[in-house]
Chain A
Amino acid sequence: MANKLDLRRFPGFLAVTYLCLFLLYAPLIVVMVYSFNDSNSITNWGGLSLRWYGEVFWGAEAAKFKAAAINSITIATMAAISATTIATLAATAMLKAGKFRGKSFGFALINLPLMVPEIVTAVATLIFFSAIGFTTGYFTILIAHIVFCVPFAYLPIAARMQGIEDVYEQAALDLYATRFQAFKLILLPLMTPGIISGFLLAFIISLDDFIITNFVKGAGIETLPTAIFGSVKQGIKPNIMAISTLLLLVSVVFVTLSYLVGRMGQNKK
């Protein structure tokens, strides 16, 4: 109906939306394009080339970045696995265990990492480890990551679990399954897309983290973001463009996968 469209349309809104998209993507696209710049200087365009990607993998700083990448990936994997497990248990408690003491408190606690400003979390975590004499390094990073990954893993897991009606587990109990069996044989399989989705989200959140990692990592270790940051502090070099592009693409792929996997389950029903 022509009238209805008119009421929804405001002149200029479309333009602003395109502007918005442009503003969001321009810097990223520029970086991606310049990562293929053949020139030594990052300001002059010298033609297309993959040399900076080569530099990243085999050049002078390659070892440093490789070590950092390995740290990032291993930490992200372990943090995501831990966070996903904890979040799954928590979601089961929140959605399928009825009322219990401390339930709303527990719910607030799960959301807490999202509400405290990142830098405050970073400072507090550093102080804590220092106070108990725990040396900063790989494990302090890992623990801090698990903490803030939990709410991110929780979101898709709980969303999925919400859609699984109680009746399936009741049917399992009706057929003599123990609660553990019902959890393992019925709930978990039906939850799989949500769990995978949560895992992917937690993984990328951990991989991308800078501020907290920077604070609690101590001197001897780097993750990919902190290595990139350190490098940038010395001036933006073309290989930074290349690494940034790679990391950018990894992030996008992971989140898209997470979204698609989450949706996959829905269509099956």
Chain B
Amino acid sequence: MAGLVSKSTSNTSTYAGLGPLLMLPSWVLIGFFLVLPVGMMLIYSFLTKEFRGGVIWEFSLAAYDQFFFDRGLFGDDPPVIEWTYIKIFWRSTWQAAVATFFCLLIGFPTAWFIATRTGPNKSIWLFLITIPYWVNLLIRTISMKFLIRDTGPLNEWLLSLGVISEPIHIINTNFAVQLGLFYSYLPFMVLPIYASVERYNFSFSEAAADLYASRWTTLTKVILPFVKPGIIAGCILVFVPSLGAFLAPDLLGGAKNFMIGSLIEEQFKGNAGNWPFGAAISMILLSIVLVVLTYYARQQGKEEAR
């Protein structure tokens, strides 16, 4: 996060008084092209859908209604909960959670290992871990797809080794999506944990050892609590983008693995589109994300106040 703010103690900063002027372009740009659009999106979620995409400017709760409830054709029946979309949200949450778990499982030891390297090795390892992140996400997802397809190199290789007799069907399964999400966001788990471990004082480990703790006890009782902020940050940084991800579910999951991202995208494609509905889903997603982030920010605030 861009966390850099001025540390000046002087009463007269060089460009004092010019602050608002210098910030103006950012304010205009982001206010006009991000904040305003989100506001428009909120409004659109309360409008009526137009047949070929777009909207009719007429207030309607149809979008949210469609999300939660299933009304009969004439709308007179009492609302019955529509589970389809809720299930999609639930599945997305589940997939994101599993991906986060895998990231944690693999990311924590990796982060620990890198942080405990000495000298220039440390930056080299860090660099190695982050380079794949900088490759286009689309390319990475395509690569993963290519690799794990039924006729892909992985299966080819395993078949030729005789380890399996039939190709393992990975593509278009839940696991493929989780793998894709894991692949997309792993560095986001590693880096915050790395930062936390960097700050860890190994005298704590020495003290624990002095008091007869085994290595693993030290890990669970001493190290993990200390590194918790990094772990939580990492989990959030993986979970949030995974929730709204589009590429991994779309390319790796296929039709059966519809997630929020794909659901939203569908609403804006061609004639079958339902813009208010798409807007509504986006609003719901955004709200969930903001709640999670606010909760996290508040926790951070409490941590720092301690």
Contacts and interface: CB of A to CB of B under 8 A. Distances in A.
Interface of A: 3-4, 6-10, 12-14, 16-17, 19-21, 23-28, 30-31, 34, 42-43, 85-87, 89-103, 106-107, 109-121, 123-128, 130-131, 143-144, 146-147, 150-151, 154-155, 158-159, 161-162, 166, 169-170, 173, 179, 182-183, 204, 207-208, 210-211, 215, 225, 228-229, 232, 236, 240-241, 244, 247-248, 251-252, 254-256, 259
Contacts of A101: 20
A113 to B, nearest CB: 6
B56 interface: no
B129 A236 contact: no
Contact of B110 (A16, A166, A240, A248): A16
Contact of A112 (B7, B23, B30, B114): B30
Nearest to B147: A27
B134 A204 contact: yes
Contact of B19 (A97, A155, A162): A97
A190 to B, nearest CB: 13
Contacts of A241: 146
Interface of B: 1-2, 4-8, 10, 12-23, 25-27, 29-31, 33-38, 40-41, 44, 54, 106-107, 109-110, 112-114, 116, 125, 127-129, 131-132, 134-140, 142-147, 151-153, 156, 183, 186, 190, 202, 205-206, 209, 215, 218-219, 240-241, 243-247, 251, 260-261, 264-265, 268, 275, 278-279, 282, 285-286, 289, 293
A151 B29 CA distance: 12
Contacts of B152: 43
B143 A166 contact: no
11 contacts: A7-B218, A16-B113, A17-B113, A31-B139, A31-B147, A97-B22, A116-B289, A127-B275, A210-B137, A248-B136, A255-B134
A127 B36 CA distance: 10
Contact of B136 (A150, A225, A256): A225
Given A100-B17, A117-B286, A120-B285, 18 more contacts: A16-B110, A24-B132, A28-B132, A28-B135, A31-B139, A43-B153, A86-B26, A90-B25, A90-B26, A98-B8, A107-B2, A117-B241, A131-B44, A210-B138, A229-B138, A236-B142, A247-B139, A251-B136
Nearest to B245: A119
B144 to A, nearest CB: 5
B23 A90 contact: yes
A126 B55 CA distance: 13
Given A97-B15, A102-B20, A107-B5, A127 B279 contact: yes
A5 to B, nearest CB: 9
User: Main SS of chain B's interface residues?
Assistant: helix
Closest A-B pairs by Cβ, 7 of them: A100-B19, A128-B37, A117-B244, A27-B143, A98-B13, A93-B22, A124-B37
A95 B279 CA distance: 37
A171 to B, nearest CB: 11
B29 A28 contact: no
Contacts of B36: 128
Nearest to A32: B143
Contacts of A21: 128-129
A118 B110 contact: no
B286 A120 contact: yes
Contacts of A43: 151-153, 156
A254 to B, nearest CB: 8
A41 to B, nearest CB: 9
Nearest to A249: B135
B213 to A, nearest CB: 11
Given A13-B109, A121-B34, A215-B268, A106 B156 contact: no
B38 A109 contact: no
Contacts of B243: 117
Contacts of A118: 241, 244, 246
A14 B37 contact: no
Contact of B16 (A28, A98, A117): A98
B244 A120 contact: yes
B109 A10 contact: yes
B131 A255 contact: yes
Contacts of B135: 28, 247-248, 251-252
Contacts of A130: 54
Contacts of A121: 34, 37
A114 B1 contact: yes
B268 to A, nearest CB: 6
Given A116-B38, A179-B14, A210 B23 contact: no
B129 A115 contact: no
Contacts of B14: 96-97, 166, 169-170, 173, 179, 182
B136 A208 contact: yes
Contact of B143 (A92, A114, A155, A244): A244
Contact of A117 (B109, B140, B240): B240
A23 B138 contact: no
B265 A119 contact: yes
Contact of A92 (B12, B15, B260): B15
Given A20-B129, A117-B286, A248-B136, A109 B26 contact: yes
A102 B31 CA distance: 13
A34 B142 CA distance: 13
